[in-house]
Amino acid sequence: MARLFGTNGVRGVVNTELTVEMAVRLGKAIGTFFKERVAIASDTRNSGSMIKSAVASGLMSVGVDVVDLGMTPTPSMQYFVGTHDMNGGVMITASHNPPQFNGIKCVDATGRELTRKDEETIESIYSDGAECVEWNDVGVMTYDASATESYVNAVIEHVDTDAIRNADLTVIVDCANGAAFASAPLLLNRLGVRAITLNANPQGDAPGRPSEPTEDNLSDLISLVRSTKADLGIAHDGDADRAVFVDGDGNFVSGDKSLSIMARYISTKKKGLTVTPVSSSLMVETVVKKNGGTIMYTAVGSPAVAKAMFDNNAVFGGEENGGLIFPEHQLCRDGAMAAAKMLECIVKNGKLSKQSADLPEYNIEKRKIDCPSGSKDALLKFLTNVGDNIKKDTTDGLKMIYEDGWVLVRPSGTEPKFRIYSESKDKDVARQRADETEAKARKFLSSK
């Protein structure tokens, strides 16, 4: 059957790709898979109530009791599931996608994202059609408004609250009018920082910035940090599982840099393994190794990172998009933990601008080329077989590893495109290797 779940659940444009009928049917399949009790939550999208109600109806029709947590961040739903007697959880969110999208994502009884194998089981139940229970066995729905507060309280236990409180910080947090509206002001208040919120309206159609926290989308946050002379700017994506930062000078800190700064901070405190996808900058590996830690690379996507962290008892993990994972709290991307830990890191290690400037310098070049989906495998095989004695890694796509850098070629999972990343200490070398790889790929594709 057709694949429903992508890297981050089922996503689509509401009422065309992601319909109520589909949500009910998927709810039935998810309920048949989990059985008994499932928690459900949504971000602030306008279609959230509609899709959530449909999934919940499907769940109850197969005999599952549903606990509705309301609007709360994805990691807050995950924390609730992991700390309550639940068989699983469902999040209604399309994370950073534009407002016309929504999505359905599942987590297991521990709150971790489902494995691909479990998703395939749900897809096959979806395809066969799940059986409803008798009228007197249908599930019931209850409401629990405590998830956000319990989550924030748990986050606070993992940082040095006194040190943060005593530092007298001013912080601007941009909630993207997303799920962070519920958690971020509460978190900052509990940490005793002077907090100014931006885009903290829980209406999906409130005017504000797009939910992807890129530098281009954060111009209001950047100017507010500058004009208020704040110590830090924090920006979340739509479901607040990610956080990126603006330093006290009002400069956007790239996700690679904030990941590296956090990896460096954690590795000075805890010896052990850091896990990150093959697409991450060598900055991460360099700072971790310098502190005596080890590094492991996984396929791209947070489920792969979280699984490797669990299997290998890692001390930290994360992605270059602001998705940071702190295993002492929970094994998933966690926007509030990332924000709280970054505040602690600044209090202990000094200004973010300084910490950012102290990172080893690497240059990354990113390209995207058109490639029909049917040619992706052949192109990957061709690129793997051409060439020389370079060290090659096929964890995800093809990574060619050089003394001073690497080139990664990866088919996009969602678009008819191929991505090329090239990183080196030397900008020209990075560009030249990207050029060469792109030329080889284009030549192969034009010969098809």
Binding region for Mg ion (CB under 5 A) out of 157-165, 232-240, 271-279, 404-412: 232-240
Shortest distance in whole angstroms from residue 255 CB to Mg ion: 13
- Amino acid identity for residue 326 in this structure: F
Residue of the chain from 237, 247, 344, 396 that contacts Mg ion (CB under 5 A): 237
Q: Which of 42, 47, 76, 95 is catalytic?
A: 95
Catalytic site includes residue 127: no
Shortest distance in whole angstroms from residue 9 CB to Mg ion: 10
- Per CB under 5 A, does 231 bind Mg ion? no
- Per CB under 5 A, does 423 bind Mg ion? no
- Per CB under 5 A, does 334 bind Mg ion? no
Alpha carbon distances (Å) from 328 to 151, 159, 314: 13, 11, 10
What SS3 class is residue 437?
Answer: helix
- Per CB under 5 A, does 239 bind Mg ion? yes
Residue of the chain from 65, 123, 174, 241 that contacts Mg ion (CB under 5 A): 241
Give bridge partners of residue 293 from the DSSP assignment: none
Binding string, residues 38-67; x marks residues near Mg ion by CB under 5 A: ------------------------------
Binding region for Mg ion (CB under 5 A) out of 88-96, 158-166, 173-181, 343-351: 88-96
Which residue stretches of 279-412 are H helix? Answer: 282-290, 302-312, 335-349, 352-357, 376-385
Q: How far apart are CA 91 and CA 114, in angstroms?
A: 12
Neighbours of 367 (CB within 10 A): 17
Q: How far apart are CA 184 and CA 182, in angstroms?
A: 6
Q: Segment 21-40, which members bind Mg ion (CB under 5 A)?
A: none
Report whether 105 contacts 238 (CB < 8 A).
no
Minimum CB distance to Mg ion smaller for 302 or for 422: 302
Shortest distance in whole angstroms from residue 322 CB to Mg ion: 9
Shortest distance in whole angstroms from residue 273 CB to Mg ion: 24
**Judged by CB under 5 A, how many residues of this single chain contact Mg ion?**
4
Per the structure block, which two tokens stand in for 117? 């194998």
Residue of the chain from 57, 95, 298, 375 that contacts Mg ion (CB under 5 A): 95
Minimum CB distance to Mg ion smaller for 239 or for 396: 239
Q: How far apart are CA 279 and CA 321, in angstroms?
A: 11
Report whether 329 contacts 337 (CB < 8 A).
yes
What SS3 class is residue 16?
Answer: coil
Q: How far apart are CA 79 and CA 150, in angstroms?
A: 8
Residue numbers at the binding site for Mg ion (CB under 5 A): 95, 237, 239, 241
> Annotated active-site positions, please?
95
